[in-house]
Amino acid sequence: QVTLTIDHKRISVPEGTTILEAAKKVAVNIPHLCYHPDQEIKANCRICVVEVKGSRKLSAACSTRVSEGMEVLTNTRKVRDMQRGILELMLANHNQDCLKCHRNGNCELQDLCERFNISRTHLEDAVDALPLDDSNPALVRDSSKCIKCGRCVEACQSVQEVHVLTHSHRSIRFNIAPAYEMPLEETLCVFCGQCAAVCPTGAIVEKDDTELVWTAIEDPSKHVIVQVAPAVRVALGDSFGLPKGEIVTGKTVAALRRLGFDQVFDTNFTADLTIMEESHELIHRLTHGGTLPMVTSCSPGWINYIEGVFDDLLDHLSTCKSPQQMFGALSKTYYAELKGLAPEDIFTVSIMPCTAKKYEAARPEMTSGGVREVDAVLTTRELARMIGSAGIEFADIDEEQFDNPFGLGTGAGAIFGATGGVMEAALRTAYEAVTGKGLPNPDFKEVRGLDGIKEASVVLGDDLVLRVAVANGLSNAKALMAEVRRGESPYHFIEIMACPGGCLGGGGQPIRSTNDIKEKRMDALYKIDQDLPIRKSHKNPDILKLYETWLGEPLGHKSHELLHTHYHK
Ligand code: HC1
């Protein structure tokens, strides 16, 4: 332990603690921007400067470690003047269209301006006239709002190892952008949105599709249906001040009905359908000499990554479409038949925790019967904006149930939203399909949790021990796939989710989703699973009915036509 004083308050903290962290223990929140609790220390912005007795220069609190007897002052005239000066310099170079910015009211720079009581500044505006990049369906990058903190660069380079966003130029021309300022669409960007999730301002945001959806809802010729992804229901409440990780499934359904959707369905239903197809695909590959390890295909950021970086390994991907797209395919075929509607008159919307889902829905492979399967994808953040703009008091709204025929999901479908959940769900079904025996305990705890790579072995028979691995975050995916490329992978089946934590940590979730919040969301998803009467996809009665009455059998002709695809080089 190290003993020091902060603003004359004596405190003991573990060796290695930074001044910024130590100050929190005496209820002092030192201003910061480039610092993020889940990232490396960067000390780029310097707004966290403090006085340390005996030092002539001010010290950055985020990067200075405490030492025995240290005396720190965080609120002197000298400190305040310096912090304010740094803030004014940032503002002079920041496009201040705050009222029209998606981050209005949820912007760390705005918070600091309020805190420093900034009403006017002494510097003339010198905002760089940099072009807006909205060249892709998922993300919008606006350099005029970038404060050069470097959080997005770390997310892109170290967490995801995609290496698209980088520093360029020097001094007053210093910038953060893809190499040669190329539009994201022309780079290897996978559209995971992890950059947007950590950006303190509105410099990188999701592409807003709320107007598209309002227009469809208002169009009397359209039957507008919506599906809700597993991870949305444990995060949407954040946007309305509810406790982190609160399960808000029923409130979400009620809010969507009030917004005017004709039917409100559950992606957990098609997550169960994905498990039916994917577990049978795995068994088929195991018994027919198919390409192994088989790798999951439901995370669109991961699909974009394998196409860009491991395109020689595309045969390893499961051919199953994601639950989002299976829902879309059913909505324009089975559901259209059921309702007697033309597929073109059905407008299918997804609520997803993910920015890359917008990209997935727009892919040319994702059509059924000549029409787009999913017409619009809204992130959790966009849905929160629609609910807010409709004046719905989300926290007070009464809970409602999903509609049928796509309203019943099992616990296996629910846990798709957490890293390891797809694997666990698939193992529950594959075990019973291969052994013909009931699984005594459906919990595969080895594949749960926030560790980057997890593995497990499951005995499926006298001569078959299934070896599986789970990776979340693309740097971890890269490590597993490099093993596959070298021919050294010991696994039969690998789950990969592009975002750290899985979809619950997706790039479209409420801003400020730190690891402690992700853990709460994860606990909530496993609670949903635990509390449901049916926890195995192959026991979902509505899925069984769908096969009996319309689809045939898993991997059958209709399934192949509608629910599977191939990604090519
Ligand atoms: Fe996901 Fe999936 S789990 S990819 O994370 O397979 O986005 O939640 O909807 O499609 O079900 C996301 C979440 C989601 C799909 C499912």
Closest residue to atom 9 of ligand 1, CA basis? 229
- CA of 523 relative to ligand 1 center, distance in Å: 17
- The DSSP bridge partners found for residue 472 are 497
**Structure token pair of residue 318:** 């499961």
Cβ neighbours around 443 below 10 Å, total: 14
Q: Is the pLDDT of residue 128 over 90?
A: no
CB contact at 8 A, 452 and 38 = no
Q: Which atom of ligand 1 is nearest to the CA of 327?
A: 10
> CA quadruple 338, 340, 342, 345: dihedral positive or negative?
negative
Task: Indicate the top mutation candidate among 266, 267, 275, 419 to test ligand 1's pocket, ranked by most ligand atoms within 8 A of CB.
Answer: 267
User: Domain 121-206 belongs to what topology?
Assistant: Alpha-Beta Plaits (3.30.70)
Q: Is the pLDDT of residue 120 over 80?
A: no
Please give the average per-residue pLDDT across 493-521, as a whole number: 97
Distance 417 CA to ligand 1 centre (A): 6
Q: CA–CA separation, 158 vs 321, rounded Å?
A: 29
**Angle between helices 267-287 and 421-435 in degrees, nearest 10:** 50
Helix axes 77-92, 108-115, angle to 10 degrees: 140
- Residue 339 Ramachandran class (φ > 0 left, ψ -120 to 50 alpha, else beta): alpha
- Note whether 121-206 and 211-563 share their fold: no
pLDDT in tens, 151-174: 999 999 999 999 999 998 887 778
Q: Are 431 and 458 in contact (CB under 8 A)?
A: yes
Q: Provide mean pLDDT across the span 85-103.
A: 92
Which of 59, 239, 279, 318 is labelled catalytic?
Answer: 318
Token pair 């929160």: residue: 384
Q: How far is the CA of 325 from the centre of ligand 1 (A)?
A: 10
Distance between CA 415 and CA 503 in Å, rounded?
10
How far apart, in Å, do the first and last CA atoms of the chain sit?
A: 56
**DSSP per residue over 163-225, as a string?**
--EEEES-GGG-EEEEGGG--GGGTT-----HHHHH-SSSSEEEPP-HHHHHHHHH-TT-EEE
Catalytic, 318? Answer: yes
pLDDT digits (tens, 9 = 90+) for 12-62: 999 999 999 999 999 999 999 999 999 999 999 999 999 999 999 999 999
DSSP-assigned letter for residue 537? G
pLDDT of residue 168: 85
Helix, coil or strand: residue 368: strand
Over range 249-276, report the average pLDDT: 98
98 Cα: distance to centroid of ligand 1 (angstroms): 32
Write out the H or E segment, with its range, that includes residue 530.
helix 515-531
Per-residue pLDDT reduced to its tens digit, 339-398? 999 999 999 999 999 999 999 999 999 998 789 999 999 999 999 999 999 999 999 999
> In this predicted model, what pLDDT tens digit does every residue of 324-339 receive, in sequence order?
999 999 999 999 999 9
Q: Does domain 2-75 have CATH number 3.90.1150.10?
A: no
Identify which of 299, 515, 300, 513 has the alpha carbon closest to the alpha carbon of residue 416. 299
Instruction: Label residue 124 by pLDDT band (50, 70, 90).
Output: confident
249 Cβ neighbours under 8 A, 6+ residues apart: 228, 233, 399, 528
**Is 298 one of the catalytic residues?**
yes
Average pLDDT, whole number, for the chain?
Answer: 96
Band (125; pLDDT cuts 50, 70, 90): confident
Residue 483 annotated as catalytic? no
User: What is the distance in A from the centroid of ligand 1 to the CA of 468?
Assistant: 20
Predicted local confidence at residue 461, as pLDDT: 79
pLDDT band at residue 501 under the 50/70/90 scheme:
very high
Cα torsion at 483, 485, 490, 494 (round to 10°)?
90
pLDDT at 569 over 80: no
∠155-156-159 over CA atoms, to 5°?
A: 50
Q: Which residue has its alpha carbon closest to ligand 1 atom 12?
A: 503
Residue with the nearest Cα to atom 6 of ligand 1? 298
For residue 474, the model assigns a pLDDT of: 98
Q: Where are the domains of the chain?
A: 2-75, 121-206, 211-563
SS3 sequence of 468-523: EEEEECHHHHHHHHHHHHCCCCCCCEEEEECCCCCHHHCCCCCCCCCHHHHHHHHH
Residue 129: is its pLDDT beyond 80?
no
Q: Determine the residue of 278, 324, 377, 472 to mutate for testing ligand 1's pocket, defined as the one with the most ligand atoms within 8 A of the Cβ atom.
A: 324
User: For the sheet containing 132-133, what is the strand order?
Assistant: 132-133, 139-142, 204-206
Pairing of strands 139-142, 59-60: unpaired
Which ligand 1 atom lies nearest to the CA of residue 354? 7
Distance of CA 167 to the CA centre of its chain: 24
Pairing mode, strands 165-168 and 71-73 = unpaired
ipTM associated with this complex: 0.94
**Cβ-Cβ contacts under 8 Å for 137 (sequence gap 6 or more):** 191, 207, 358, 359, 361, 362
Q: Enumerate residues lining ligand 1, CB below 6 A.
A: 229-231, 267, 271, 298-299, 322-324, 352-354, 357, 416-417, 502-503, 506
Does position 267 have pLDDT exceeding 80, yes or no?
A: yes
Summarised one tens digit per residue, pLDDT across range 232-248 is 999 999 999 999 999 99
pLDDT band (50, 70, 90) for residue 482:
very high
Separation CA 12–CA 500 (nearest Å): 33
pLDDT at residue number 296: 98
State the angle between helix axes of 249-259 and 380-389 in degrees (0 to 180), rounded to the nearest 10.
60
Shortest-distance atom of ligand 1 to CA 299: 4
CATH class entry, domain 211-563: alpha beta
Verdict on whether the full-model pTM lies above 0.90: yes
pLDDT digits (tens, 9 = 90+) for 391-425: 999 999 999 999 999 999 999 999 999 999 999 99
pLDDT > 90? residue 126: no
pLDDT for 278 beyond 80: yes
For residue 454, indicate whether it is catalytic.
Answer: no
